[in-house]
Amino acid sequence: MSWLLAFAGFAVLIILHEAGHFAAAKAVGMRVERFMLFFGRPLVSFRRGETEYGIGPIPLGGYVRITGMNPREEFADDVAVRAYYRQPVWKRIVVIAAGPAVNLVIAFVILWVLFLSNGQATSTQVVSSASLQQPASRYLQPGDRLVSVDGVRGDVTAMARQVASHRCAGAATDGCTATTAARVVVVRNGERLAFAIRPQYDATRGIRRTRLGFTYMTDTRELGPVGAAGASVSGMWEVTNRTLSVFAHLFQARERKQVGSFVGAYEVTRQAASFSMERTLEILALISLSLAIINLFPFLPLDGGHIFWALAEKVRGKAIPFAIMERASVIGFALVIMLFAIGLTNDIGRLQDGGFDVR
């Protein structure tokens, strides 16, 4: 059942993305020839009016074919007047941007509903009794409030990063102890205490760093409609920044390992569907947001590439030679294949190394 739910989730995201292009094209008067779910020769198809609808055999996406996407094509006058490249720049941008816009709206609505229903959970700086392990269990107690690590104060992420700066001698192996101790300051029953704790390396997928061996208590705050909207936007902005940071540092091995493909996204969704509908919806929201971000990258054949060249035409004051866009699309296609190959390689490695931790 989890396979079916994951497949259905992806299919819905694809359909809604393409429906955005389709609806916008129809709204501005363009002629839509084909609306396809998946790629390849249609397994099933039917025609309604001027548009053919179908399902292909290769579940890697979908597409909407609008008449005149190639300016070299020639049509009868009654068809040419509705062709893509015969339309004003603003209409073309609206049609192309509609797909990613739908993905953004989907992500926002899902996150808004989840925040409104469940509130917003925030991590405190108080040690939890759950998962209190070595080496922290020799020094810390549930209820201790963490003040600083090696003098680093602030949020829990900054202090965790400082703990991770303490490394094992040589190659890190699961359970190895750092060569240096972290100076951990906590408040216990109103008294400030300091401990020198040598972190241990945790090789668990998704962690893979030295840590002290405890988790924080969480505090859940109920949100109204406005607060849930604000939390959704903040969460989406954080994911966007993190995603762009990964691609901006793609030539760094550590960042490159964060890239994934549809294989990983599908597997994560499938695993989440097996134990939590809320987690499944959250992951689908993040996938929808990621689809919007990636599709808006400014190179062809992605949506962002079409928007970029439409804007370039507007600035230039006349059409960009199609030969230039063809050459740019070759480079863009090569970049897309490169990202796909990196993501697929990473996902295969994750599957071979124990799979994906979605909890």
pTM reported for the whole predicted model = 0.78
Q: Do 114 and 132 reside in the same domain of the chain? A: no
Q: Do 112 and 258 reside in the same domain of the chain? A: yes
In a domain, 8, yes or no: yes
Q: Do 126 and 109 reside in the same domain of the chain? A: no
β pairing state of 145-149 and 182-188: antiparallel
Q: Smallest Cα–Cα separation from 289: which of 325, 265, 324?
A: 265
Contact (CB, 8 A) for 163 and 148: no
Which of 221, 254, 277 is the last residue in one of the domains? 221
Measured CA to CA, the distance from residue 22 to residue 30 in angstroms comes to 9
In a domain, 359, yes or no: no
Q: Do 114 and 250 reside in the same domain of the chain? A: yes
In a domain, 348, yes or no: yes
In a domain, 188, yes or no: yes
Residues 6+ apart with CB under 8 A from 96: 21, 303, 306, 307, 310
Which of 174, 206, 221 is the last residue in one of the domains? 221
pLDDT value at residue 351: 66
Residues 6+ apart with CB under 8 A from 185: 146, 147, 148, 149, 192, 193, 194
Q: Do 276 and 169 reside in the same domain of the chain? A: no
In a domain, 229, yes or no: no
Other CB atoms within 10 Å distance of the CB of residue 171? 7
Contacts of 193-199 spanning 24+ positions with Cβ under 8 A: 193/144, 195/139, 195/140, 197/135, 197/136, 197/138, 197/139, 198/135, 198/166, 199/135, 199/163, 199/164, 199/166
Q: Do 65 and 85 reside in the same domain of the chain? A: yes
pLDDT in tens, the chain (359 residues): 667 777 778 888 888 999 999 999 999 999 999 999 888 888 999 999 899 999 998 877 788 999 988 878 888 888 888 999 889 999 999 999 999 999 999 999 999 999 999 888 877 888 888 778 889 989 999 999 999 999 998 778 888 889 999 999 888 888 899 999 999 999 999 999 999 999 999 887 667 889 998 888 888 888 899 999 999 999 999 889 888 887 777 777 766 777 766 666 766 776 766 667 888 888 889 889 988 998 999 888 889 999 999 999 999 888 888 888 888 888 888 888 888 788 778 767 766 665 555 55
Q: Do 54 and 105 reside in the same domain of the chain? A: yes
Residues 6+ apart with CB under 8 A from 20: 98, 99, 100, 101, 102, 103
In a domain, 239, yes or no: no
**Which CATH number do you get for residue 201?**
2.30.42.10
Measured CA to CA, the distance from residue 280 to residue 120 in angstroms comes to 17
In a domain, 227, yes or no: no
Tally of domains within the chain: 2
Q: Do 108 and 128 reside in the same domain of the chain? A: no
- Domain that residue 155 falls in: 122-221
Residues in the chain: 359
In a domain, 93, yes or no: yes
Instruction: Please return the burial class of 147, using the count of CB atoms within 10 Å of its CB with bins 0-12, 13-18 and 19+.
Output: middle
Residues 6+ apart with CB under 8 A from 175: 200, 201, 203
**Element spanning 147, H or E:** strand 145-149
pLDDT value at residue 236: 92
Residue type, 344: L
Measured CA to CA, the distance from residue 75 to residue 56 in angstroms comes to 27
Phi and psi, residue 144, nearest 5°: -65, 140
Q: Do 254 and 112 reside in the same domain of the chain? A: yes
CA distances from 281 to 60, 77, 112, 149, 271 (A): 20, 47, 11, 36, 12
Q: Smallest Cα–Cα separation from 261: which of 358, 340, 353?
A: 340
Q: Do 109 and 141 reside in the same domain of the chain? A: no
Measured CA to CA, the distance from residue 127 to residue 135 in angstroms comes to 14
pLDDT value at residue 1: 60
* Preceding amide of 298 cis, omega within 30: no
Q: Do 250 and 344 reside in the same domain of the chain? A: yes
Which of 187, 221, 255 is the last residue in one of the domains? 221
pLDDT value at residue 79: 83
Q: Do 107 and 178 reside in the same domain of the chain? A: no
